[in-house]
C-alpha cells in the first residue's frame, strides 16, 4: 500500500480538534473560527505536499499540481476531494475523510515524483452540509455558477447573520461570488471519496462501494401563521393553532413518502415555534421539508401534494408561505469512471459492490460539470452525523488507494 495509514489517522484526529463542541462531536460551521483553523491546517499540509494552494471566491480550498508540459497549463484538470464543514455535533469523518484522502494522495504523488499529463486539483469544499446557512452543496454550486449575490444575502443563520456578511467578515468578497464559476471544459473528471453513512458495506464485509447514482434532494421551508392567543382563555373551537396544523403536515410528509416507496424518503427535521411559550397558543411555525428520491417526478409529485394540503389551511384562516431552499435532481454517475474503479479494486484485491447514495454529495453537482464518480468506504454500524461516527483508518486507506490508482488510470485516457 502506497498511502500512509498513520498520516491519515493524524490528519483525521487533528481536523476533529477544530470544533466548537469539544467532547460532543465535531461542530465546524462555515466561516467560523473552527473553519479558519481547519483551513489553515489543510493549506499547510497541501503546501508541504508540493501543491500550489488557493481559495476561490466561495471560500473553497484548492491545491493544484501541474501536469506535464505536453498538456499545458490550460489543460483540463482531474479533481479529487470532498467537503470539510460539518453538521452540528457531527462526526470526524463525514467529508473530512475525502479531503484527508486527497491530501494523502498528493503526498504520495509528490514523494514518488509522479508525473501526470493532466493537472490534478485537490479540493476541500465549503458549506456542503448547509449546517449554518441552510445553503447545502454551496462550494460545488458556486463552481457551477449557481450562486448569486442575492442568494448570499438571503441565506441567514440562526443568529440573523447573512452569508453575505459572514463572508465579508471572514475576508472574502461576496460581491465577486460569480468568479468561483469554472470555465467550460476546465475540469476533466471529479472523484469524491466519502464514508458510506449507512450499514451496507460493513454488514456485507465489502471494502469499496462504487456509487452508481445519487438521489435528488428538494428542501423547502414552510411557514404557517395562525394566531398567538392565551392558552387558558381561548376555547379549543376558536383557536388558530399553527402547531396543530403543522403536525398534520408532518404526518402527511411521512405518509406520502411511505406510499410512494421505491427508496423515496421525506423528512421534517427542523421546526421553529413562535412565540414558544408554554401558556401561549402557537401563532407561527416554520418547518423544513426534505424530500429525496432517484425519481425526479416523484420528488415533484410529493411536494405538489404536500403544498396542496397546506394550501387548504388558507381556507381555515391561516397564512401559508413557502420557500425553496435547495433543489438538486437525481444523478447517475459516470459509467466509464465506475468501470475503472471496479477494475482497480479488483486489481488491489478489495471486495466491491455498486450502490446508490441516499445522501447528497458535492459529486451530484460536479456531475453536471464533468464526468464524476464516488468511492464509499464502510461506516461503523452505519452511524453518521453524530459523535459516534467512525470509519477504520485501514478502510479509509484502502479507499484512498483506489482513488489514487483510478486517478492515474484516468490520466492515461
Residue positions forming the annotated binding site = 83, 94, 129, 194, 385
What are the φ/ψ torsions at residue 357 (nearest 5 degrees)?
A: -90, 125
Q: Residues comprising the binding site for Zn(2+)?
A: 83, 94, 129, 194, 385
Let me know: does 221 contact 271? Beta carbons within 8 Å: no
Burial per residue of 380-392, b for 16 or more beta-carbon CB atoms within 10 angstroms, e otherwise: bebbbbebebbbe
Mark residue 81 as left, alpha or beta (left: phi above 0; alpha: psi -120 to 50; beta: remaining): left
Dig out the grid coordinates for 20 from the structure: 466548537
Q: What is the DSSP string of 270-334?
A: -EEEES--TTB---EEEEEEEEEES-HHHHHHHHHHHHHHHHHHHHTT-EEEEEEEEEE--EEPP
Question: In angstroms, rounded to a whole number, what is the distance separating the alpha carbons of residues 151 and 142?
Answer: 11
Question: In angstroms, rounded to a whole number, what is the distance separating the alpha carbons of residues 348 and 53?
Answer: 31
Q: SS3 for 163?
A: helix
Taking CA atoms, 247 is separated from 125, 260, 273, 307, 344, in Å, by 36, 20, 12, 14, 50
Please state at what angle helix 33-48 crosses helix 96-112, rounded to 10 degrees. Answer: 20
Burial class (CB in 10 A: 0-12, 13-18, 19+), 2: middle
Dig out the grid coordinates for 393 from the structure: 483508518
Strand partners, 272: 286
> Within 13 A of 160's CA, how many CA atoms are on the CB side?
0
DSSP 233: T
Amino acid at each position: 500500500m502506497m498511502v500512509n495509514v498513520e498520516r491519515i489517522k493524524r490528519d483525521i484526529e487533528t481536523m476533529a480538534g477544530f470544533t466548537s463542541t469539544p467532547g460532543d462531536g465535531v461542530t465546524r460551521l462555515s466561516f467560523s473560527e473552527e473553519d479558519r483553523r481547519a483551513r489553515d491546517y489543510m493549506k499547510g499540509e497541501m503546501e508541504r505536499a508540493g501543491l500550489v494552494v488557493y481559495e476561490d471566491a466561495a471560500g473553497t480550498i484548492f491545491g493544484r499540481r501541474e501536469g506535464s508540459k505536453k498538456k499545458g497549463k490550460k489543460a483540463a484538470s482531474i479533481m479529487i476531494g470532498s467537503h470539510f464543514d460539518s453538521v452540528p455535533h457531527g462526526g470526524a469523518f463525514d467529508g473530512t475523510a475525502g479531503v484527508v484522502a486527497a491530501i494523502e494522495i498528493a503526498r504520495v504523488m509528490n514523494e514518488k515524483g509522479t508525473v501526470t499529463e493532466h493537472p490534478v486539483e485537490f479540493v476541500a469544499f465549503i458549506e456542503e452540509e448547509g449546517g449554518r446557512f441552510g445553503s447545502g452543496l454551496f462550494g460545488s454550486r458556486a463552481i457551477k455558477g449557481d450562486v448569486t449575490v442575492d442568494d448570499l444575502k438571503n441565506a441567514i443563520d440562526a443568529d440573523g447573520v447573512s452569508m453575505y456578511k459572514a463572508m465579508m467578515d471572514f475576508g472574502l468578497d461576496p460581491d465577486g461570488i460569480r468568479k468561483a464559476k469554472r470555465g467550460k471544459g476546465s475540469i476533466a473528471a471529479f472523484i469524491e471519496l466519502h464514508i458510506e453513512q449507512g450499514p451496507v458495506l460493513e454488514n456485507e464485509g465489502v471494502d469499496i462501494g462504487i456509487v452508481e447514482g445519487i438521489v435528488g434532494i428538494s428542501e423547502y421551508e414552510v411557514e404557517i401563521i395562525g394566531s398567538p392567543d392565551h392558552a387558558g382563555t381561548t376555547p379549543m373551537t376558536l383557536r388558530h393553532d399553527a402547531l396543530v396544523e403543522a403536525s398534520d403536515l408532518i404526518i402527511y410528509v411521512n405518509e406520502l413518502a411511505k406510499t410512494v416507496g421505491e427508496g423515496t424518503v421525506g423528512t421534517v427535521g427542523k421546526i421553529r415555534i413562535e412565540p414558544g411559550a408554554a401558556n401561549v397558543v402557537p401563532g407561527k411555525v416554520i418547518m423544513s421539508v426534505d424530500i429525496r428520491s432517484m425519481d425526479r417526478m416523484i420528488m415533484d409529485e410529493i411536494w405538489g401534494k404536500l403544498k396542496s394540503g397546506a394550501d387548504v389551511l388558507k381556507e381555515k384562516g391561516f397564512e401559508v408561505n413557502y420557500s425553496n431552499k435547495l433543489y438538486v435532481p437525481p444523478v447517475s454517475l459516470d459509467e466509464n469512471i465506475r468501470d475503472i474503479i471496479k477494475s482497480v479494486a479488483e486489481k488491489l484485491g478489495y471486495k466491491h459492490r455498486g450502490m446508490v447514495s441516499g445522501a447528497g454529495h458535492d459529486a451530484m453537482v460536479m456531475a453536471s460539470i464533468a464526468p464524476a464518480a464516488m468511492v464509499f468506504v464502510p461506516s461503523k454500524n452505519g452511524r453518521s452525523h453524530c459523535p459516534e461516527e467512525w470509519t477504520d483508518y485501514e478502510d479509509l486507506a484502502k479507499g484512498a488507494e483506489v482513488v489514487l490508482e483510478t486517478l492515474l488510470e484516468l490520466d492515461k485516457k
